[in-house]
A and B are shown apart, each in its own frame.
Chain A
Amino acid sequence: MDMNDGLGRVIGLAMAGKSPWGGGKKPEGEPEVPSTGDDPVQPGKPAADTPADDKPKRKGPRNPWLPVGDEPRRSASIEDIFKHRGPEGPRRTIGGGGGPGFRLPERPGGKSWFPLAIGAIVAVWLGFSMIHQVGPKEEGVVTTFGKYSRTLTPGLNVTFPWPIQNVDIEQVSEFRIEQIPEGTAQKLMLTGDQNLVDLSYIVRWSIKDLKQFRFELADPEATLRDVAEAAMRASVATKQLDDVLSGAGRADIEGSVLTRMQAILDAYQSGIAVQGVQIRKTDPPKEVEEAFKDVSAAQQDADAEINKAELYAQQVLARAQGDAASFDKIYAQYKLAPEVTRRRLYYETMERVLRNNDKTVIEAQGVTPYLPLQEVRKRPAQNEGAQ
C-alpha cells in the first residue's frame, strides 16, 4: 500500500508542474533547468543568435520536442541533450522510458520503486489467478498447461497461477432454457398426415458433466438446438395433426422428444442433461386458421341445433303428459257417472261456444227462410275493423 501512496504522490506532484523529487537528488554538476523558463540557459552554448536572425527558420508550427527557447536543437550533441534533460525535464513525467538517462523515482529510503511495482503486479496476478471462488451452482475445470487436472467444487479453491493452471467456472446445476424458435415467428412442421402445424417449444437443460461439456463438443449450444430440432420434427412426423393439436398428443411428443434428445446427446458425450421439453403452442398455420375456426363454429352450430330440438322435445312431451293427465282426471270422473258427466260437459261446452257467437234458429221445417245475410256479415266486418 505504501507504494501506491508513493506513486500517487509522485503523480500528483508531476501534475502540479513541480519536480516531485525536489532538489539535492539531481546529478551533481548540472545546473537546474526550470521546466517553464522563458529563457533557458544551455551550458556551454550561450544564446548567441538573436531572435531576429532566428525568425526566418521558424515559420511553421513549433516543434514541441525542441528545447524550450530559440536555441536550435542540432547545436547540441546528443549526449548533451540527454545530459541536460535531467529528471526535472518535461519528458521525465510524460514520456516513459528508454535511453541511458532513464531513471525511476526513488523512495524516501533512497531505494528504487521498481521492485515494489513489480511485486504489486505479481501479487495481483497471483491473487486473481490462484484463488477461485466457486458458487453453489457452479463447478470449475482446472487445466494445467491445457491438460485437464481436476474439477473444482463449490467453495474457495486455490490453484497454481495462470498461465500454469487455468480455471473455467461454469454454472452446472442451474437449468438453462433454450427457446425454439427464438422470437414469435411461425415455425411450420410437417405432421404424419402431411399437414402443417405451427409449433414452438422450450428445452430446459443443465450440464451433467462439465469436462465433457467443455472438451467434447465444438459448440454445445448449437448442438443442443440441432438435436432438439431433429428430435422434435421426427416426433411430430409420427403423429396426426389432431393429436399434435390436442393435449394428450402434446404430452406424448414432449416425452418422446426428451428421450430422443437425451439418447443423441449421450451418444455425442455432450455432458448435457435434458431436464424437460415443453411445447408452448401448437397452432394451425395462420393461412388456414379461418378454416379451423370455422370447424369450431360448425360444432357450435350443431350444438345449437340439437339444443333447439331438445327444447322442442321437452315441450312436446310436457304437452302430451299434460293432455294425458287432464284426460285421465276427467275420465276418472266420467267413470263414476258417465251419462251425467257427458251431459254436463256437452252443455258447458255449448254454452261457451254459443254465448260468443251469433245464433240463428230456423223454426219452420222444409221452408227456406230469408237469411239476414247482412247481419251475418256484419260481424266479420266489425272484427276486421277492430284489427
Chain B
Amino acid sequence: METFFETHRNSLIAIAVAIVAALSTMVVVPETEEAVIIQAGRPDRVANRFKPDVPYGETGAGIVMRIPFYERVERIDKRVLNVDMEPQTVLSTDQLRLNVDAYARYRIIDPVRMVQTAGTLATVDSQLSAVLSSVVRQELGRRSFASLLTAERGTTMANIRTKLDAQARKYGAQVIDVRIKRADLPDGSPLESAFRRMQSARKQEADTLRAQGLKNAQIIRAEAEAQAAKIYADAYGKDPEFYDFYRAMQSYDTTFAPDSKSGSSIILSPDNEYLKQFRGRR
C-alpha cells in the first residue's frame, strides 16, 4: 500500500511552502499594538498607528504584509502604559520631609520616533521614570508641607505633567496623566513626632473634657443650691418670726436627739420658761 504522504508528497510540500511563505510575509498586528516596518534598518511605515478618534476595527490592525528578510517588524504596545516612580523624599519649604510616590500614564503616539530614539519600551520606561522623579522633587519642593498634602489640587500636577510630557515627546510618547499615588511621612523621627503630636493633642482633649465635666458638675450643684435657697426663702419669708421659733424647735430636737452619741445633761434654772408652771406661780 502507498501511504498518504507518499501519494500526496508533492502537494504536501507545496502546501508547506505556501504556509511558510504566507507566515513570513504576513504579520498579525493586534489592536493593542502598533507595528513599525523597518526596511533594512530604516523605518519605512507604521501599521495601526494610534489615532485618538478612530473606532476599533478601523485603525489598521490586522494582517500586515512585509517582504521577508528585507523588512523587519517592530511591535510596540499601543495601550496606555504606566511609569511608576521610585518613592521620593521631598523636602518642603518649611523643612519637613514627605515620602511621595507618583505615577504617570503615557502612550506611544509616534512609534517611529520611539524606535529611533529609545528602541525598546523598557528604555522609555526607565528614562521617563528618572525624569518623573526629578520633576516631582523639583515641583513639590517649592511648596509648604501643608500644601503638599493637597498637591492634587491646583497647578502642581499640571506643571509636572507638562514637564514630563516635554521629555516624553522626544521618545514619541505622550504623557496622559501624572498623579501622586501616596504622600507619607517618612519612617523614623517624622512619623514618631507626628504620633507624639497626635497623642498630646488627644491628651489635651481628654484633660479638657475632664475639666469641663468637673466645671459643669460644680455649676449644677450651685444652681441646685441657689434654687433650694429660693424655695426656703419663699416659704419662710412669709413669717420670719414664726420661722425662727419653728426652726429653733427643730434644732433642739436634732441637737438633743435621743440617738445623739454624746448624751447630754441639762441643768435647768427654775426661772426657765419650761418650768414656770413647775413653781405653781400662776
Q: Which residues of A contact B (CB under 8 A)?
A: 102-104, 106, 112, 114-115, 143-149, 188-190, 192, 194-196, 211, 214-219, 222-223, 226-227, 229-230, 233-234, 237-238, 264, 267-270, 284-285, 287-288, 290-292, 294-295, 297-299, 301-306, 308-310, 312-314, 316-317, 319-321, 323-325, 327-328, 330-331, 334, 338, 342, 345-347, 349-350, 352-363, 365, 371, 376, 379-380, 382-383, 387
Contacts and interface: CB of A to CB of B under 8 A. Distances in A.
Nearest to A382: B263
A231 to B, nearest CB: 9
A360 B268 contact: yes
B231 A361 contact: no
Contact of A268 (B1, B80, B181): B80
A290 B192 CA distance: 15
A350 to B, nearest CB: 5
A233 B266 contact: no
B263 A148 contact: no
A102 B2 CA distance: 10
A285 B195 contact: yes
A295 B202 contact: yes
Contacts of B199: 288, 290-291
A148 B258 CA distance: 109
A295 B206 contact: yes
Contacts, number: 292
A195 B242 contact: no
Contacts of B33: 146
B32 interface: yes
B73 to A, nearest CB: 13
Contacts of B234: 324
B221 A313 contact: yes
A361 B249 contact: no
A146 B30 contact: yes
A262 to B, nearest CB: 14
A371 B265 CA distance: 12
Given A291-B199, A309-B216, A327-B235, 7 more contacts: A103-B1, A148-B31, A226-B179, A230-B181, A306-B213, A342-B242, A371-B267
A357 B210 contact: no
A291 B30 contact: no
Contact of B177 (A189, A267, A312, A331): A267
Closest 8 A/B residue pairs (Cβ): A302-B213, A313-B224, A309-B217, A146-B30, A320-B228, A324-B235, A147-B62, A298-B206
9 contacts: A102-B3, A190-B183, A195-B198, A211-B56, A215-B78, A234-B150, A298-B209, A324-B236, A358-B266
Most buried by B among A192, A196, A226, A328: A226
Nearest to A236: B149
Interface residues of B, number: 97
A216 B33 CA distance: 10
A284 to B, nearest CB: 7
B4 interface: yes
A299 B202 CA distance: 12
B252 interface: yes
Interface string B30-65: 111100000000000000000000001100011100
Given A302-B216, A317-B228, A359-B265, A323 B235 contact: yes
A330 B28 contact: no
B1 A106 contact: yes
B267 A360 contact: yes
Nearest to B195: A287
B261 A383 contact: yes
Interface string B162-187: 00000000000000110111111100
B217 A305 contact: yes
A147 B57 contact: yes
B72 interface: no
A376 B262 CA distance: 12
A325 B235 CA distance: 8
A200 to B, nearest CB: 14
B274 A354 contact: yes
A327 B250 CA distance: 11
A264 B179 contact: yes
Most buried by A among B185, B198, B261: B198
B264 A223 contact: no
A382 B262 CA distance: 10
Interface of A is mostly: helix
Contact of B205 (A115, A295, A331): A295
A194 B266 contact: no
A349 B252 contact: yes
B56 A359 contact: no
Given A103-B3, A320-B232, A362 B266 contact: no
A316 B224 contact: yes
B32 to A, nearest CB: 5
Contacts of B227: 316-317, 320
Contacts of A234: 150, 152-153, 180
Contact of B217 (A103, A306, A317): A306
Nearest to B251: A349
B67 interface: no
Most buried by A among B77, B80, B205, B252: B80
Contact of B231 (A190, A270, A320, A371): A320
B198 A291 contact: yes
A194 B144 CA distance: 12
B77 A218 contact: yes
Interface string B193-237: 011011101110111011011101111110111011101101110
B79 A216 contact: yes
A345 B250 CA distance: 10
A146 B29 contact: yes
Contact of A305 (B150, B206, B214, B243): B214
B262 A357 contact: no
A327 B220 contact: no
A30 to B, nearest CB: 14
A237 B82 contact: no
B229 to A, nearest CB: 8
